[in-house]
Structure 1
Amino acid sequence: MNPRRHDNDYERRKWRQVAGHFVMGAVFGAGFAVILLLGNYFGLAKVIDTSEAPMLVRAVLVVGIAGSFAFCAAVTGFLFLVHED
């Protein structure tokens, strides 16, 4: 087997694992945001309902929290993978 091909396969596998962490973080973040909104914790849903465009605010909140979770999970996964080597 060509050693260069082996390195490429190894790198692809590592990046797939980082992408998996990203997706996992996005799913958990979106779930957390939905639970936060449905449970009306801290009166957040009431405040959003009084806004001019509540659906847009909800969407931005869910996407923002999901993105934050996804980024942090990807960075954490990357650091774990680097430390593993």
Structure 2
Amino acid sequence: MTTLLDHKMSVQEAIDQPRIFARSYVLEGRRTVPAAVIKGLLALGHLPKRAPNPLGTAQAIWTDRKRGLLRGGADPRRDGIAMGY
């Protein structure tokens, strides 16, 4: 949600972003997380590591009530589709 509101990304752009998940004291990141981000997390004392498998999936629909539009996005790394009516 923060990528949509704070960074003005579309639904699809937000879904396409690299993901990091907290697993206890370890931060598992997808292979698409830039090396500089991993290095920065290490410098802050975190324990980042590359996730062995893809993490999570997402499909979303943003409802723009003012314009009467539905804007959807789906994770291209997994099976799925965003559908609305």
Per the normalisation by structure 1, the TM-score is 0.27
Task: Identify the structure with the greater strand proportion.
Answer: 2
**Which one scores higher on RCO, CA 8 angstroms, separation ≥ 6?**
1
Task: Identify the structure with the greater helix proportion.
Answer: 1
